[in-house]
Amino acid sequence: MKANPVKLLQSAARQVFGALFAAFLASAFVAAPAAGETLRVYVPSDPASIDPAFWGTSVDGYLMFNVLPRLATPAPGNEWNLELDVAESVDLSDPTKIHFTLKKGLQWANGYGELTAEDVKYSYERHLDESVGSYIASEFDALDHVEVTGTHSGIIHLKYPAVPMWQSTLGWFGGTIISKKEALENGGKLPVQPKATMGAYTFAEFSPGERMVLKADPNWHGPKPYFDEIVLIPIADANAAEVAFAAGELDFLTSTATGPAQLRDQHGDNAKVDVLTSVDYTWLGLNAQHPSLADKRVRKAIQMAVDVDTILAATFEDMGVERATGFAAPGMVGYRPASKVKHDIGAAQALIQEAGAEGNTIELGYANFGSRSTQAQIIQANLAAIGLNVELNAMDEATFWDVTAVKTPDRQLTLKGWYGNPEAMYGLQYFTEAEFEGWNWEGFDDPRYTELMNAAWEVADDKKRGDMYIEMQDIMEDSGSFLFVDNAPAVVMYKSDIVPGLLPDGKPMFYAFKKK
């Protein structure tokens, strides 16, 4: 008997739709897996590379701090402190020689052997090797070589005194130590998911675009972390991450799209929201080398005309963010308690008239993301009030940071932010004449500033060095080339039964997370 094709089709369709409907019903009532001792964390992207020579995203930083060691590492808490990590002792008394001794018996995960001074030597010196092509080679400019004096001891020889390097590089991402054996197996670089880890956690699973799972490493030399498993979930849109948090699918958000007051309203007692101050900085740069801004009176007038408080209120609403005073955030060595620039439209107008700049047109360039556009529009309106026309030039990030396309002499006003570091010298060192073709977009050059900077490299006393940084930032501001805006706040949200372990800027140290 010949089969009826229509009936066969109908029958097949019924079976397919029946099966799908059944699957839908069944799946809709599957209970969500219990969280147990797992911490589910929202991160804005996948990690790119946790090789300290090639790291590039905030997630890379979180991972480096949690799965790889340093001689000393930042301690969780409200203040910036370094605590010894794999070093048993470090002697910083000689400004060009750092003596270190490693703790004995520390093992790399997955059978990569014991951590030795050879690993430290390899990890640091590779940044100077041009064939490696380290992205952070310039952070190691002061390094001459590392001398291995024993299996667990060595001396870091510097070409010139560079006291800030201990905090800015060796105690930060750049100072991350990797297994020489694993790097050599991979052609001198770490794979995205290295096997030779040494931290509270080690890699268990990585599914790009979906999740990265860390498992507590039983061999870690520190106390056993509370959470056995950390699941990092990359979500490109922070709003979606907030919805997922509300749905109970995340425990900790490393950043948020919504303001803290609104988040507290939405989540009530189920969530805690903390606002921390990052070490990053945003400022308006005024290029003294450009004809339209060469007159210091014009630059000073712009400084006085821009209403930073309004910018902060419009950008950060209820977060209580205070204006930045320089490249040192609150709590850092060299923090200036207050800016000397006062918002004064009348005085600004008088200066513009004195300089004969009324009616001039100036370009304001910025990378168009987040609230930058709002900030730029406020500046435009403020400067219109003193008779300056501002043309906004919004660019995507890649275009804005393209130093090969636009040279410093062609830049005018730039509104920008840099990733900072707990050591202010990290950013301050770029404002010299040598950087006119690079990152000194303000065309700033001051002999006293350069003198202080060169001297500060040798000063071990934090108070003395801090005073020098304060004077350097005074000079920057007084030049009229810098208007410091904010140290971007870091808003984190987590379930109310969690006690997070965070650095002062909100970076998570997962080993310090606990549950109430």
Partner 1 sequence: MLRFCARRIAIGFVIVVLAIATIYVLVQAAPGDPIALMLGPRATPEMIAALEARLGLDQPLPVQVLKFLIGVFQGDLGVDIKTKRLVVDEVLEQLPYTLYLIFASLLLAAGLGIPLGCFSALHRNSLVDRLVGILSVSVIAVPPLIIAIYGMILFAVHLRWLPAIGLGDRGDLLDQIHHLILPAIAVGIGWVGYLARLVRAAMLEVLNEDYILNARAFGLPERWIIFRYALRIAVAPTITVLGIGVGYMLGSAVFAEIVFARPGIGKMMYDAVSVRNYPVTMGVVLASTILLVASTTLSDIINAMIDPRIREAQE
Binding to partner 1 (CB under 8 A) within 437-476 occurs at: 437-439
C-beta of residue 443 within 8 angstroms of C-beta of residue 481:
yes
Q: How far is the CB of 57 from partner 1 (least distance, A)?
A: 8
- The residue among 26 and 338 lying less far from partner 1, judged by its C-beta, is 26
128 binds partner 1, rule: CB under 8 A = no
- The residue among 114 and 210 lying less far from partner 1, judged by its C-beta, is 210
Return d(Cα 352, Cα 343) in angstroms, integer.
15
Helix locations, 247-330, DSSP H: 260-267, 296-305, 308-316
Q: How far is the CB of 222 from partner 1 (least distance, A)?
A: 29
Helix locations, 156-254, DSSP H: 164-165, 180-185, 238-246
Closest alpha carbon to 329 in 420, 260, 429, 430: 420
Distance of CA 19 to the CA centre of its chain: 49
- The residue among 241 and 364 lying less far from partner 1, judged by its C-beta, is 241
> What are the beta bridge partners of residue 390?
362
C-beta of residue 154 within 8 angstroms of C-beta of residue 187:
no
C-beta atoms surrounding 6 within 10 Å? 8
- The site map against partner 1 for 47-86 (x = CB under 8 A) is -xx----x-x------------------------------
Pairing assessment for the beta strands 143-150 and 153-158 based on DSSP bridges: antiparallel
- The residue among 116 and 168 lying less far from partner 1, judged by its C-beta, is 168
314 binds partner 1, rule: CB under 8 A = no
- The residue among 150 and 248 lying less far from partner 1, judged by its C-beta, is 248
Binding to partner 1 (CB under 8 A) within 337-396 occurs at: 395-396
The window from 203-211, 319-327, 382-390, 462-470 that contacts partner 1 (CB under 8 A) reads 203-211
129 binds partner 1, rule: CB under 8 A = no
The window from 336-344, 345-353, 403-411, 496-504 that contacts partner 1 (CB under 8 A) reads 403-411
The window from 92-100, 327-335, 401-409, 492-500 that contacts partner 1 (CB under 8 A) reads 401-409
| β strands within 252-368, DSSP E | 252-253, 271-277, 281-286, 361-367
The count of C-alpha atoms lying within 13 angstroms of the C-alpha of 440, restricted to the half-sphere facing its C-beta, is: 17
Q: Looking at this protein, which amino acid is placed at residue 55?
A: W
Q: How far is the CB of 402 from partner 1 (least distance, A)?
A: 4
C-beta atoms surrounding 309 within 10 Å? 10
The answer for residues whose C-beta is within 8 angstroms of residue 257's C-beta and 6 or more apart is: 237, 238, 239, 241, 242
Tell me if residue 47 falls in helix, strand or coil.
Answer: coil
Q: How far is the CB of 207 from partner 1 (least distance, A)?
A: 7
- The residue among 83 and 397 lying less far from partner 1, judged by its C-beta, is 397
- Please count the residues of this chain forming the interface with partner 1, following the rule CB under 8 A: 65
- The residue among 54 and 226 lying less far from partner 1, judged by its C-beta, is 54
Considering only 93, 130, 342, 447, the residue that binds partner 1 (CB under 8 A) is 130
Which sign, positive or negative, has the C-alpha torsion 337, 340, 344, 348?
negative
Give residue 295's region: left, alpha or beta (phi > 0; psi -120 to 50): beta
Return d(Cα 164, Cα 260) in angstroms, integer.
34
The window from 68-76, 241-249, 294-302, 464-472 that contacts partner 1 (CB under 8 A) reads 241-249
The window from 70-78, 283-291, 431-439, 494-502 that contacts partner 1 (CB under 8 A) reads 431-439
- The residue among 117 and 263 lying less far from partner 1, judged by its C-beta, is 263
206 binds partner 1, rule: CB under 8 A = no
- The residue among 35 and 137 lying less far from partner 1, judged by its C-beta, is 137
| The two three-digit tokens of residue 505, written as one number | 């800027």
Considering only 269, 404, 447, 463, the residue that binds partner 1 (CB under 8 A) is 404
Closest alpha carbon to 155 in 87, 85, 73, 74: 87
The string of DSSP letters for 467-497 reads HHHHHHHHHHHHTTSEEEEE--EEEEEEETT
- The site map against partner 1 for 1-40 (x = CB under 8 A) is -----x--xx------x--x--xx-xxxxx-xx-------
C-beta atoms surrounding 18 within 10 Å? 10
Which residues bind to partner 1, rule: CB under 8 A?
6, 9-10, 17, 20, 23-24, 26-30, 32-33, 45-46, 48-49, 54, 56, 130, 133, 135-139, 189, 192, 207-211, 233-237, 239-241, 243-244, 246-250, 395-399, 401-405, 418-419, 430, 437-439
